[in-house]
Chains A and B, each alone.
Chain A
Amino acid sequence: MEDNAVVKVEHLRKTYGSLAAVDDVSFEVYQGEIFGMVGPNGAGKTTTIECVEGLRKPDGGGIQVLGLDPQRDGYDLRRRIGVQFQQASLQDRLKVWEALDLFSSFYPRSVDWNVLLEQLGLGDKRNAPFAQLSGGQKQRFFAALALVNDPEMVFLDELTTGLDPHARRAMWDLVRDIRSRGKTIFLTTHFMEEAERLCDRVLIIDNGRIVALDTPENLIKTLGAENRVVFTTEAPLETERLKTAPAVTRVETIGDRIIVYGRGDRLVVEVVNNLVSNAICFRDLRTEQPNLEDVFLSLTGREMRD
């Protein structure tokens, strides 16, 4: 894995006045993966991604992207990457096709943007002025601009912020599609669910420092958090009886709802067997796995919510 790193960041540091926005951050991004940086707003995600893109000058540390130094070789780098900003806009009266045509002219090599528009579902917005696009359309349009030079690597900063759930899922499909074309993706998000579902590896950042870096599965596994089985019963339940099952660690009762905590894959089986053998009637049984949200909570002691 070490050899196919397309991004190498070592001890990156960036301060604004006395505030250290990014403090001693080191990581690598591998060829062909979807790499996600997650954290609350103001954690240092945008600063980091913009230093890697070469748009911000770091105060310390080293960065290499596609074998280039983003500060020294900025021109060469910008030809080979595609960038989507967290907050960007274009001229209100600029039409979609004009913008794509314009951006194509900035690169020595570009793809047929008509195909790109169709792929992104913007085929019928070809002549629409920028100002008339909806939030989701703008995001897809900026994704098209980021892909117009057929980049080796794509940077997506807060790609789905402000999108409704449907549009968000469509963006996820788009990102997976870009990856399937052999491109490396470096994205930031403050949605833990997005990172968990979309990314091959996730870097959790908080207050400018790396909190954790691994695959979502490993992050959740190392947390060692308990799974939960939740159900309701008609009649009040003697909870002590449930605790006899070996997988169960504790039981909570909230009204008529019972939450059983435990570890291992046998938890559900043991709980259900226990209920059936004791002839207890239960309804609405479901299981809950710990997610990245729980990982963040346990690592920082805070909720991810802004």
Chain B
Amino acid sequence: MRGLWKLTRTEMKLFLREPMATFFTLVFPTMCLLLLGSMFGNKPVKQFGGLGFVDTMVPGYTAMIIATSGLLSLCTSIASYREKGILRRLRATPLQPQAILTAQVAVLFLMAVLGMALLIILGKLIYGLHIPRNPLPLLPAFLLCAMSVFAVGFVLASVLPTARTAEITAMALFFPMIFLSGAVIPQALPETVRRISQILPLTHGVTLLRGLWAGGTWCEHLKEVCVLSGVFVVGVIVSAKTFRWE
């Protein structure tokens, strides 16, 4: 346990030393919020069901942060740890192999939580972000969304042969995903695009988070819950079967 704790703390330091990762997880979403928030404000709009622009964007950006850490960061770091032989070196110690992956997931999850917290705090302070009367159902939704996207990241890290292909594939998935899922552009997408976007797990994550943010209940979002859980389960099974340490 001491080893896992130390490894997690070390990975945290390393994450913060990596300017790109820190920027895209913590700074970029905040910048988007401030920029677009200052343009559109947070006045209630009929199109958003009586919510404001910022109220809609915060759950969307949260999903984007989950995709950044779960897809881009997780996939790239595990694939490069494998390629560089870092996984191999750590496995030659008495540390449990699972601890190596647990530390990675823990750090990235924590960063996603931090990114979301920043959005909520700034949104509340500057734009009077509307926070649901009962925010508790949002927490398991955030967790489910993260688990599902992290599982996809793990599959990519397991299946793709090199760090370079893993990074490129993660990017190629990430960018269409954040736009098509409505994480960055809300509900203005044409019907065809919206139909295509249904195959992306993040779309369901965005729908779930946004729905609950607007005061919806889990019962209204059973489809999203099922899809996200399914992706998680399949992702875990596939990566457990295909994961390589070297």
Tell whether A114 is near chain B: CB-to-CB under 8 Å: no
Q: Which residues of B contact A (CB under 8 A)?
A: 2-3, 5-7, 10, 13-14, 17-18, 81, 84-86, 88-89, 91-95
In contact, B89 and A88 (Cβ under 8 angstroms): yes
Interchain CA distance A74-B13 in the complex, whole Å? 30
Q: Given A53-B92, A78-B92, A105-B3, does the pair A94, B85 have CB atoms closer than 8 Å?
A: no
User: Among B14, B86, B91, B93, which residue has its beta carbon within 8 angstroms of that of A107?
Assistant: B93
Let me know if B95 and A106 touch, CB within 8 A: yes
B18 contacts which of A79, A89, A93, A106 (Cβ < 8 Å)? A93
A81-93 toward B: CB 8 Å interface, digit per residue (1/0)?
0010101111101
List the A residue with the shortest CB-CB distance to B90.
Answer: A106
CB distance from A296 to the nearest CB of B (A): 29
Minimum-distance CB pairs A-B, first 6: A105-B6, A106-B93, A106-B3, A83-B92, A88-B85, A93-B17
Would you give the shortest CB distance from A205 to chain B, in whole angstroms?
22
Cα A83 to Cα B95 with chains together (Å)? 14
Q: Which of B10, B13, B85, B91 contacts A89 (CB 8 A)?
A: B85
Contact A98 B10 (CB under 8 A): yes
Q: Give the residue name and chain of the B residue nearest to A75 (CB).
A: B94
Interface contacts beyond A105-B5, A106-B3, A107-B94: sample of 10 additional A-B pairs, CB < 8 Å, sorted by A: A55-B92, A75-B94, A78-B94, A87-B85, A88-B84, A88-B85, A89-B89, A94-B14, A107-B93, A108-B94
Which residue on B lies nearest to A91, using beta carbons?
B14
Q: Which residues of A contact B3 (CB under 8 A)?
A: 105-106
Query: A172 at interface (Cβ–Cβ under 8 A)?
Result: no
- By beta carbon, the residue of chain A nearest B10 is A102
* Prevailing SS type, chain B contact patch: helix
Question: In whole angstroms, what is the CA distance A88 to B86 when docked?
Answer: 7
- Which of B3, B13, B94, B95: most chain A CB closer than 10 A? B94
The answer to whether A113 has its CB under 8 Å from any CB of chain B is: no
Task: Report the bound CA distance from A87 to B85 in whole Å.
Answer: 7
Inter-chain CA distance A139–B189, complex, in Å, is 55
Does chain B have a CB within 8 A of A10? no
Q: In this complex, what residue of B is CB-closest to A145?
A: B89
Instruction: Give bound CA distance, A75 to B88, whole Å.
Output: 15
Tell me the count of chain A residues lying within 8 A, CB to CB, of chain B. 23
Taking the complex as formed, is A101 at the interface, i.e. its CB lies under 8 A from any CB of chain B? yes
- Within the complex, the shortest CB–CB distance from B20 to chain A, in Å, comes to 12
A191 adjacent to chain B (CB < 8 Å)? no
| Most chain B CB atoms below 10 A, which of A53, A94, A101, A105 | A105
Q: How far is the CA of A230 from the CA of B234 in the complex (A)?
A: 73
Given contacts A93-B18, A94-B10, contact A78 B93 (CB under 8 A): yes
CB distance from B94 to the nearest CB of A (A): 5
Contact assessment for A90 and B86 in the assembled complex, using a CB-CB cutoff below 8 Å: yes
State the Cβ distance, A232 to closest chain B Cβ, in Å: 51
A106 CA to B84 CA, complexed, in Å: 20
Judging by beta carbons under 8 Å apart, are A55 and B93 in contact? no
Task: Determine which of B10, B14, B91 lies in contact with A55 in the assembled complex, contact meaning CB atoms within 8 Å.
Answer: B91
20 A–B pairs (Cβ distance < 8 Å), ordered by A: A53-B92, A78-B92, A78-B94, A79-B94, A83-B92, A85-B88, A89-B84, A89-B85, A90-B84, A90-B89, A91-B86, A93-B14, A94-B14, A102-B7, A103-B93, A105-B3, A105-B6, A105-B7, A106-B93, A107-B93
List CB contacts (< 8 Å) of A93-125 with chain B.
93-94, 98, 101-103, 105-108
Interchain nearest-CB distance for B19 vs A (Å): 10
A85, B92: Cβ atoms closer than 8 Å: yes
B17: min CB distance to chain A, Å: 4
Q: Are B88 and A55 in contact (CB under 8 A)?
A: yes
Q: How far is the CA of A41 from the CA of B103 in the complex (A)?
A: 36
Least distance between B9 CB and chain A CB atoms (Å): 9
Asked whether A85 and B18 contact (CB < 8 A) given A98-B13, A105-B3, the answer is no
Docked CA distance A94–B77 (Å): 14
Docked Cα-Cα span, A79 to B96, in Å, equals 12
Within 8 A of B (CB), among A33-60: 53, 55
Q: How far is the CA of A94 from the CA of B17 in the complex (A)?
A: 9
Known contacts A75-B94, A85-B85; is A102 also within 8 Å of B6 by CB? yes
Q: Which of B2, B10, B81 has the most CB of A within 10 A?
A: B10
Please measure, in the bound complex, the distance between the C-alpha atom of A106 and the C-alpha atom of B100, giving whole angstroms.
11
* Alpha-carbon separation in the docked complex, A230 to B84 (Å): 48
**Residues on the A chain within 8 Å of B94, using CB:** 75, 78-79, 106-108
